[in-house]
Amino acid sequence: MSTNNPNVRIERDTMGPMEVPADAYYGASTQRAVLNFPISRERFPRRFIRAIALIKHAAARVNADLGLLDKRLADAIARAATEVADGKLDAHFVVDIYQTGSGTSTNTNANEVIANRATELLGGQRGARLVHPNDHVNMGQSSNDVIPTAIHLSAAMAIKEDLVPALQELQRALRAKSQEFWPIIKTGRTHLQDATPIRLGQEFLGYAGQAERAVRRLGHAQDELSEVPLGGTAVGTGINTHPQFAGRVCALLSELTGVSVRETENHFQAQSTLDALVETSGVLRTVSISLYKIANDIRWLGTGPRAGIGELSLPEVQPGSSIMPGKINPVITESLIQAVAQVIGNDAVVVQAGQGSFFELNVMMPVAAHNLLGSISLLAASARNFTQQCVVGLQATEQGPKMLEQGLMLTTALVPAVGYDAAAAIAKEAARTGRTIREVAREKTKLTEAQLNEALDPEKMVIPGLGGGPAGG
């Protein structure tokens, strides 16, 4: 097969010659995948490409150290892989996410790009195969262990570098608001109904605790992701790989990335399942639900400003209506809530992908990677935006303290003195007449004004103690 078209060149693989774009670093097998999977415009994200390139870089160096690969070739591969890791050749990663379930086409894409670039670095032309994509770049590897390892590595890096810092920033902002709002006592709410008093700062302390525990849960996910199947090659047996290869590559990857990477002790479970990814996605779903609760509470506390709860004033970031002048909407919280919905949907895909494990291999790895990495990126970006454009600018209004004396559940503090039934009757009378608990209790009990002031002191109701009796939730 030959061509006179200056826009293409001929590359070959085991199926024969194939025309590829003249300026492409990929080869024949990648081009076949481009033609086979014209499904979407979705591609593996930058973080994944970086991870797979780092694996190829480390593999070349280790194979050279083991005496299996000529040092000159290994150095060229490592240099080319570094260029890929740095994003210089992203345009040449052209295979659709919806491809072969093992991600073989993308592993091949990486092998061919790195091989052709390494060939150039050695003075050859693209397609000359001075560096072979399979014999050299893929030495000691299989798509079946490289792709899941790249997913683990890229997810672990994304969590460490993006999501954890974003949640820590949110946690600090929420704790700062907790301290700022600590003097403000307002009516608590359970079942969306008035409950006993609470400090606004205590509510925000709860939100900060959710963010803090989200980071803790992600730590467990990071530990699960650190165990990788590299070294199992085709089915977990490690055929065609040096016994020390995986351990040495993992050590080098840990050094290169600052992320803990270790060879699994059981290649057969690691390579035939996506269990660690399913668990990680579950943690991301939990984190997203925490963020939903925080964002939803804040937007509800900011409802109004006159016909709603109105205890918080949210930052005004843009006009809220094309027809109602002056209307301001809680758009930052709405943005985060929509991101949460997407993460929950992504998790459903990862769960389904986890069920695509048959015998020695999972065959839904690309879509699992796409959704898992998408969730991490989305949560990190939306959490950071929520922190910067909403939380740090929150202000408390006078509405919470103003309505505190009207709260019917202040009667809880009267239970030790008058009993549950009498306190309930006071609450019902106050609700029926529109009077306060203090006013009805003054009329219906023998408590002195000093005793009422002592019992109905909000400051004493927001700390643990026996000033009040048991109350329903």
Q: Band the pLDDT of 466: cuts 50, 70, 90.
A: low
pLDDT at 232: 98
- Under a CB-based contact definition with an 8 Å cutoff, are residues 141 and 228 in contact? no
Q: Which domains does the chain have, with CATH numbers?
A: 22-139 (1.10.275.10), 145-231+268-399 (1.20.200.10), 405-461 (1.10.40.30)
Burial label, 427 (beta-carbon count in 10 A; 0-12, 13-18, 19+): buried
pLDDT at 465: 65
The residue from 321, 335, 377, 382 that is catalytic is 321
pLDDT at 4: 78
pLDDT at 206: 98
178 an active-site residue? no
pLDDT at 473: 54
The residue from 191, 281, 288, 377 that is catalytic is 191
Q: Band the pLDDT of 2: cuts 50, 70, 90.
A: low
* pTM for the model: 0.95
| Mean pLDDT score of the chain | 96
Tokens 């194939």 label which residue? 18
At 312, give phi and psi (nearest 5°): -125, 150
Tokens of 185: 């006592």
272 an active-site residue? no
State which H helix or E strand residue 336 sits in: helix 331-354
pLDDT at 472: 45
Q: Band the pLDDT of 6: cuts 50, 70, 90.
A: confident
Is the pLDDT assigned to residue 471 strictly greater than 50? no
pLDDT at 5: 87
Neighbouring CB atoms inside 10 A of 373's CB total 22
**Cα R_g (the chain), whole angstroms:** 30
Q: Band the pLDDT of 470: cuts 50, 70, 90.
A: very low
DSSP letter, residue 409:
G
Give the CA angle between residues 268, 273, 274 to the nearest 5°: 135
pLDDT tens-place string over residues 336-366 = 999 999 999 999 999 999 999 999 999 999 9
With a CB cutoff of 8 Å and minimum separation 6, the contacts of 319 are 327, 328
Among 186, 454, 184, 444, CA closest to 468: 454
Which ranges constitute the DSSP H helices of 183-266?
Answer: 200-225, 245-257
